[in-house]
Every structure is written in C-alpha cells, then in structure tokens.
C-alpha cells in the first residue's frame, strides 16, 4: 500500500506501496476479499508459501508497473491494517467503470483492485514478529465497537513522491470520531513496536482510481462531474464490522463488537 498525501490540504491518508510505472489497464473484475471467520483474530494463510517472499516480489512488471516505497528483503513482511469495503463494493465498481469511460482518452485511469479503508501505514515486520504482532492487535482491538456509516465526497490525493494520483471517496465526516476510536489502538500497537503510526490528521477514505504521475489539476477539474456521477448511485453504505491486518501472504481478521 502507499502513503497518500493531498498537497492541497494538510491532512494525509492511506497507506499504500509507493508505485511508479503503469502497464495496460487492469481488469475491473477482482477476486473477492477473504471471507470473514467466526473467531476474533483468526487468520487466513495462503497455502504453499513459506516465510520467505518470492524472488520476483519486487519485479514491477509483475505488479502493474508499481514500485514499492521500501526495498523488499527476504524475511521482511509488508504489513498494514485496514477495513474491507463490502456492502457498497458493487456500487463503487459501477462507478469505477463509468468514471474511466468518461475521462478517457484525456486521462488513463485504472481501477483499484481491492476496495478498503486503511487504518495504518505500510510497515515492515520480521517473520518471527508476526504472531506476537497479531496477538498485540487482537488484545488492543478486543473491546472496539463496530458501527454503520456512509461514504460521500470524492477527493484527489497523490502519493508522497507524486508519482501517482488517486481519486478516492471519503468517509462521511459525521463518522470520523468513531473511526478515530478504531485507529487509536492500532496506533498504540505500532508505537509499541516502534513502527510508523498513522497520520496526525487522517483523511479516512477508500481509493477508487489511480493514474501515473501528478494529475491533480486535471482530476480536480473533473471532480464536480465525477461527484454528480457518484451521487447518481444509491447511498454508499459502509458497515464497519471487522478490521483486517495483511502481513505478507497472511490475513488476520479482528471482529468488532456490535
């Protein structure tokens, strides 16, 4: 995942890998997110993979031309905490398709493959730290409460290097306090492990589309038109029921209280 920043404002947001070059547009059909499991903090592990990442992990040609913000080394596991977007995923996928059509050929936009809202930057863990880190998150989040919310306004972001530009939809400001309550225990765990905490003034959002380079001005010019397109859809409901931590090829699920 990539650290995104909106240079027109002071707030920062999502944790993504720093990526640079881009290939031909990717398919909008993406695999479903891992199914939720019943136990707090359960983990889903992909088979046939050990603790060492594959040799081609940093080959940008195999990752849509994207380049990581830190060099991969064997034994290092890229890790971040996020909330999957499930309830309104189909609506957002429809918006992605229409937005790409409307802005072509002026701008070559690509759809984000996994719709989620980040609650941490991408950090690096050693393999032997993974289980302990998982237990720490489990303990920190055990009393956290889920809630219903909505997404509303579109906003333009860039990554820190300004090599990519993103179009994202923000969490309704009315739910910012509740989302911040989920962020705090995550930040505490990051601090305990001497890892980077999330941004001081987070802008909670779901990245929808991206393009190569700093295209803020062009996207800002189209923002009103795209906002109207988004509002043509039904209310974008976001049910906050679980958080997940992706660590290399592992996904840990943390159920929230209702």
- The enclosing H or E element of 244 equals strand 242-247
List 63, 134, 142, 205, catalytic entry: 205
> What DSSP designation does 22 have?
-
**Which residues neighbour 52 within 8 Å (Cβ) at sequence distance 6 or greater?**
74, 75, 127
- Identify whether 116 is a catalytic site residue: yes
List 63, 72, 116, 128, catalytic entry: 116
Neighbours of 239 (CB within 10 A): 14
CB of 144 closer than 8 Å to CB of 186: no
CB of 22 closer than 8 Å to CB of 66: yes
- The enclosing H or E element of 230 equals helix 216-231
Catalytic residues: 116, 205
């Amino acid at each position: 995942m990539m650290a995104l920043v909106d240079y027109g404002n002071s707030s920062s947001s999502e944790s993504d890998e720093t990526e640079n070059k881009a290939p031909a547009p990717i398919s909008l059909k993406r695999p479903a997110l891992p199914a939720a499991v019943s136990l707090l903090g359960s983990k889903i592990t992909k088979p046939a993979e050990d603790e060492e990442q594959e040799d081609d992990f940093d080959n940008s040609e195999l990752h849509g031309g994207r380049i990581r913000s830190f060099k991969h080394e064997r034994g290092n596991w890229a890790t971040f905490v996020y909330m999957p977007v499930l309830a309104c995923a189909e609506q957002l996928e429809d918006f992605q398709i229409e937005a790409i059509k409307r802005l072509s050929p002026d701008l070559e936009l690509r759809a984000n493959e996994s719709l989620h809202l980040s609650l941490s930057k991408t950090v690096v863990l050693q393999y032997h730290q993974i289980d302990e880190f998982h237990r720490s998150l489990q303990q920190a989040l055990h009393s956290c409460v889920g809630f219903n919310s909505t997404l509303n306004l579109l906003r333009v972001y860039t990554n820190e290097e300004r090599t990519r530009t993103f179009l994202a939809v923000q969490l309704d400001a009315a739910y910012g306090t509740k989302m911040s309550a989920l962020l705090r225990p995550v930040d505490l765990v990051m601090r305990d492990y001497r890892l980077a905490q999330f941004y001081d003034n987070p802008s909670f959002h779901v990245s929808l589309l991206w393009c190569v380079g700093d295209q803020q001005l062009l996207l800002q010019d189209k923002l009103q038109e795209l906002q109207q397109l988004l509002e043509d859809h039904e209310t974008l409901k976001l049910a906050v029921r679980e958080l997940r931590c992706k660590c290399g090829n592992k996904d840990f699920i943390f159920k929230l209280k209702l």
